[in-house]
Amino acid sequence: MKRLIFLFALAAFVLAACEQASDSNLQADFTPLPTAVPPSEGAGGGSLNLPFAAQIPVNHLVEGDHRYAIWVKCPLEGLENMSSGWIRLIVSESFTQLETNVFLRLGGISTDPLAPPNLPGFHPQQEGVQALVTLLGLTEETLDTAINECDMVILFNDGIPATLQLHPLDPFEG
């Protein structure tokens, strides 16, 4: 039931954002977010990091201009309802297919899971494209909460392809 309510709220967010977005202004009026999410003042102190990811299949997005947003709903302090805002994404055959993975992240598109954004988009047949959010500085207790209670999704501006759920991967120390 909790996930159903979350998905309804998410659908309302998408519809409202799509109405407000215009082709002439693809960058959202949001404060830029970090490329990974550090703990808030009262919640951190740990050395564990937890990535959440969703694989984007080859040809999932057709050639053209798109926007994506990552929505995070998590009971950890500072992550209750967080969104990346709409981020511009260009899918074009003019981009070279890369030998490395491509990450759609809170702060933009990159070829490294923890580095600043460095790409405007990717080739439609690019392999290894994934939505990625990494929670940083977790303790054992907050790690368990994040794995069991955090919901993260990536939305695309055109509604097709459908919203994809991000799933927790193996935690790592950092």
d(CA 40, CA 87): 24
Model pTM?
0.75
Q: What angle do CA 82, 86, 92 make, to 5 degrees?
A: 140
Tokens of 10: 């998410």
Which residues, in sequence order, are CB contacts of 167 under 8 Å at separation 6+? 52, 53, 54
Which pLDDT score is estimated for 158? Answer: 66
Which pLDDT score is estimated for 174? Answer: 82
Using DSSP, state whether 81 is helix, strand or coil: coil
Give pLDDT tens digits along the chain (174 positions): 444 334 434 444 443 444 444 333 333 333 344 456 655 544 456 899 999 999 998 888 889 999 999 999 999 988 888 889 999 999 999 999 999 999 999 999 999 998 899 999 999 999 999 999 999 999 999 999 999 999 999 998 866 556 899 999 999 998
